[in-house]
Amino acid sequence: MKFSHFSRAVVLLSSVSLLFACSTPFKNPAFESRPSGETKFHGISQLVAVAPNHTLDVLMVHGMCTHSAEWAKDSIKQLNLILGGEPDPQVETTQVDGTQVTLYQSNLSVDGGNVRTSALVWSPVVAPLKHQLCADQTKKSKTCTDSGFSKPAYPYERATFNRKLKDRLLNDCLADAIIYQGKSRDAIVQQVQKAILTAVSSLNRESASAYDFNIAATESTPLVFITESLGSKITFDAIYKLIHSEEKNAKAAGLRTFDRTALVFMGANQMPILALADQSLDGTSFFLTNSANYPTDPLAALIAIKKMRPSLTAPSIPKVIAFSDPNDLFSYILVPSKEVATYDVVDVVVSNKNTYFGFFEPPETAHTTYLANPSVMRLIACGTEKIRCGSRY
């Protein structure tokens, strides 16, 4: 009996210790901005309230690490709930013609108006190259097993933590960035261009799997980008390259797409480290004088172009909000990155998951769960002025 009481005491003490050892440092987000003191921003709910016909377009693009339909549908559903929409919105699936990209689209009827939402999944574009690394995975990923790469097994024992880092963060996640910064970059951009144009030109049509330059070049509905990680670089590289296309219709579609962009939300920002690959050793880049080169920060390049050619479609420069978890190994705050992110920006520092003993936050979830973080989605939907913005949330 005494031992039983002692055992219970040990279990209770251990549980209490674990509870206090588990913390969420930025459960309440911290804000910093450039220029200083300008940390307030609107969310989707405020934009849709003042948009023509109370209609807004939203395009979500995931980052590195394999993403699937589950990410797209969950992200759309989460946004819909916070904005006050009906539970379980209908999501249409479209395979974009001539690409390995899939679009998931939903017309969300929310408090205050209509939010036409597209989530772009580009993981299948790079999957064939990543299959070359399946042999190095101790526990094969779903993309490896589904594609017939469940063998051979990795023959040597790895420590559990190192195994998880190697299997997921390196072989599945970092591999995306390596592929994109190499010879396949143009091919990836071309497929994503088609997907973006299909998304922004198909929102008024049924089951459109191909883009229409004329619609993309004339659409005036305000647009919000929600991009993550490597997806930010890919998305704005794609639009930048459209604007510098020799094809007149493509150029017009690219210009209009960015002209109508009112807000840019970025999570897990990799621009500062990815920019290193597009600079010479003296730190210079020639994106304004040589459009054949990729810019160090394509968003900075697009904003610079917009400043040089004011537009009646969207006379103001889009507000840029960047979410970052300090424990996300692949994310960088942007306010100090003046050499790359030359635009005005609001950094929002968040915690995506718990930190244990002040020592450890799971690296994968720290990087891949921004849109599953209620604090992040609430700020995207409601901005900084409202705690809630939907009648159902």
Q: Write the CB contacts of 321 (distance below 8 Å, at least 6 apart in sequence).
A: 41, 263, 264, 265, 266, 345, 346, 348, 379, 380
Please check whether residue 33 lies inside any domain of the structure.
yes
Cβ-contact 252, 213 below 8 angstroms:
yes
Which candidate, 383, 268, 389, places its Cα nearest to that of 324?
Answer: 268
Cβ-contact 27, 374 below 8 angstroms:
no
Please check whether residue 393 lies inside any domain of the structure.
no
Distance CA 41, CA 52 (A): 20
Sequential DSSP letters for 130-151: HGGGGGG-SS--HHHHHTT---
pLDDT in the model for residue 206: 52
pLDDT in the model for residue 17: 45
Residue 203 has pLDDT above 70, yes or no: no
Q: What is the pLDDT of residues 230-285, one digit of tens each?
A: 999 999 999 999 999 999 999 999 999 999 999 999 999 999 999 998 888 887 76
Length of the chain: 393
Distance CA 165, CA 5 (A): 40
Averaged pLDDT, 13-17: 43
Please check whether residue 285 lies inside any domain of the structure.
yes
3-state SS of 229-244 is: CHHHHHHHHHHHHHHC
- Total structural domains in the chain? 1
pLDDT over 90, % of the chain: 66
Residue 341 has pLDDT above 90, yes or no: no
Q: What is the pLDDT of residues 90-136, one digit of tens each?
A: 999 999 999 999 999 999 998 889 999 999 999 999 999 999 999 99
Averaged pLDDT, 6-26: 55
pLDDT in the model for residue 363: 86
Please check whether residue 241 lies inside any domain of the structure.
yes
| pLDDT interval class at 15 (50, 70, 90) | very low
Please check whether residue 212 lies inside any domain of the structure.
yes
Please check whether residue 267 lies inside any domain of the structure.
yes
Averaged pLDDT, 58-65: 97
Range picked from 126-140, 277-291, 354-368 for highest mean pLDDT: 126-140
pTM as predicted: 0.90
* 116-155 burial: b if 16+ Cβ within 10 Å, else e: bbbbbbbbbbbbeebeebbeebbebbebbeeeebeeeebe
| Residue 29 CA to its chain's centroid (Å) | 18
pLDDT in the model for residue 93: 95
Range of the domain at 206: 2-382
Please check whether residue 391 lies inside any domain of the structure.
no
Name residue 350's amino acid: V
pLDDT in the model for residue 126: 97
pLDDT in the model for residue 360: 75
Please check whether residue 8 lies inside any domain of the structure.
yes
Averaged pLDDT, 218-224: 92
